[in-house]
Amino acid sequence: MNLTRTGVLLRPNNARVLYRPFEPPNPQRATRIIGRVMQLTDEEVQSLLDGVLSEFRGRHQRLASFFEERFEAVQRHLLTDRPVSPSRRRLIGSYFTQEYALESAALFNPSLVWHPDQGGLPKGSARFILSLRATGEGHVSSVGFRTGIVDAAGAITIAAPTGFVTAPRVIANVTYDKGLFLRKLAELGVIDGFVDPVFDALDDQFTLGHLEAALIATGRHQQARRQEWAPLAAAIGALAKANYEIECDPGSDMSERVVFPYSPTETNGIEDARFVRFVEDDGSVHYFATYTAFDGDVTLPQFVETDDFVRFRLSTLNGPEIANKGMALFPRRINGSYAMLSRQDGENMHFMESSMLHFWHARRLILRPTQPWEYVQIGNCGSPIETPAGWLVLTHGVGPMRKYSIGAVLLDLDDPSQVIGRLREPLLSPIENERAGYVPNVVYSCGAGVHAGLLIIPYSMSDFATSFATVPLAEVLDALTAGKA
């Protein structure tokens, strides 16, 4: 097939930094830091603060206000109620703030969706949003964004990122549904008789603050069973914190926005978001993504919802079939149900259906590794793409020497558990200048698109940088339907 590597290249840039909280290893250390700042004269405080702001203001927006937030978060460590001047508050806040190079190690595993704003474009062009796995210090991953345009001829341009990145604001007072919350706790095996008083004290809709207050109140009556109670309370709190909302600055450029790890399940990163433009039966459009949360030991599939790429809701996926990684949602309901591809066993591809977006209870095996280039495992490379011939699914296959290639299969439109076409050879395999990186010999994608008769494939090169390839859609479909599969 006439596959074209575009030469468009996105590399990690260690100059793109955001500010985030610095947390000392223990409360005593925090107290000592604050105590040292409190010993300074007003003149010394002002001089030091002016120096910090002068040195870092050009690298960040709204830095002084973040210093205020950090002071408020640590002021409990003050030893007295003595008033603290605005300058001293901000200086203390600066000692509990750090820079983080968002993409110093890698910028890879891209996912493409069409932008909600298609205005102001030349005829035949389309604007897209590209999500990327950005990996920085400590190999912690987050989700960054770029925008780009593909024209009528398939030429791709990427908007240059600004010089700023800002972590989103976690929204307070997010509400939880008690019934769904208890259902998830039951799946996790956390339900226990003496947890009942916690939820008896809560309304059908409650906030994290309400839950924490109920946990504290219940804990006061569980002193005799403290060893049993403490891990249960921690698990309940962790589940709540894994379901949260964040908001980016609405006036910021898309490249300044980031979905950064927040919950206990994400302490070691948010990986491989597979975004999809989802159209409901009533015609409403939402953007969903599955991603992998990693806490250093356990990988857990989770879910993102947004309508505008400003406000994001992150939540757990639930049900006995939520396991492993690499889940990809179909872009619409099929026969009234949500549908998703998955790889629970780490080796084969499965198909799932559910009446509820966040709960998944059954799967069917639809693809096993069959060709030599996929003998180790097969999985999806993003959400299926609807075509007149069927659901086009880009796949990844792993072969000898852990070499990753991108292939394709075709699923029946009405019954996607039925495979009606499959390529014998990969669409895309790493060539020599794509083989060096954090993980060598890998090409990988988390979501492609179709425009002007071309299949647009954003792909990562050896878990380091990102590029694009294009191929006529008709040629791919012909190969899948003409007995070459």
Same domain (yes/no): 197, 255: no
| CB contact set of 262 (below 8 Å; sequence gap of 6+) | 170, 241, 244, 246, 314
Give mean pLDDT, residues 13-38. Answer: 95
Considering the domain architecture, whether residues 201 and 331 belong to the same structural domain is answered as no
pLDDT digits (tens, 9 = 90+) for 297-351: 878 889 999 999 999 999 999 888 888 889 999 999 999 999 999 999 999 999 9
pLDDT number for residue 2: 93
Q: Which of 101, 129, 146 is the last residue of a domain?
A: 101
Q: Are residues 223 and 272 in the same domain?
A: no
Non-local (6+) Cβ contacts of 482 within 8 A are: none
Q: How far is CA 122 from CA 129, 200, 266, 294, 305, in A?
A: 17, 59, 41, 42, 30
Are residue 237 and residue 247 in the same domain, yes or no? no
Identify the CA nearest to 384 among candidates 441, 327, 429, 436: 327
Q: What is the mean pLDDT of residues 425-449?
A: 97
Contact 52, 94 (CB under 8 A): yes
Read off the pTM. Answer: 0.92
Q: Phi-psi region for residue 90, left (φ > 0), alpha (ψ -120 to 50) or beta?
A: alpha
| Mean pLDDT (whole number) for 386-401 | 98
287 with 426, same domain: the answer is: yes
CA angle 292, 295, 296 (to 5 degrees): 110
Please tell me whether residues 289 and 425 are part of one structural domain.
Answer: yes
Examine the domain organization and report whether 24 and 86 are in the same domain: yes
Residue 21 shares a structural domain with residue 162: no
CATH number at 350 reads 2.115.10.20
Q: Is the pLDDT of residue 264 over 90?
A: no
Distance, CA of 21 to chain centre: 20
- Tell the residue number behind the tokens 């920085």, with chain if given: 136
The domain boundary residue, chosen from 101, 117, 134: 101
Reported as a single tens digit per residue, the pLDDT across 283-297 is 999 999 999 998 888
- Whether the predicted pLDDT of 130 surpasses 50: yes
Q: What is the pLDDT of residue 320?
A: 87
The answer on 68 and 162 residing in a single domain is: no
> Which region among 61-70, 168-177, 250-259 has the lowest average model confidence (pLDDT)?
168-177
Task: Give the confidence band of 485 by pLDDT, cuts at 50, 70, 90.
Answer: very low
Angstrom distance (rounded) from CA 121 to CA 117: 10
Calculate the CA 204 to chain-centre distance: 29
Verify that 96 and 109 share a domain, yes or no.
Answer: no
How far is CA 70 from its chain centroid? 25
Domain range holding 330? 4-12+102-169+243-481
Residue of 384, 379, 383, 418 whose CA lies nearest to 395: 379
Q: Are 238 and 263 in contact (CB under 8 A)?
A: yes
- In this structure, the answer to whether residues 22 and 125 fall within a common structural domain is no
Residues 151 and 187 both lie in one domain: no
Backbone Cα Rg of the chain: 25
Domain finish residue from 50, 76, 101: 101
Q: Among 45-59, 64-78, 187-201, 310-324, whose mean pLDDT is lowest?
A: 187-201
User: What total number of domains does the chain contain?
Assistant: 3
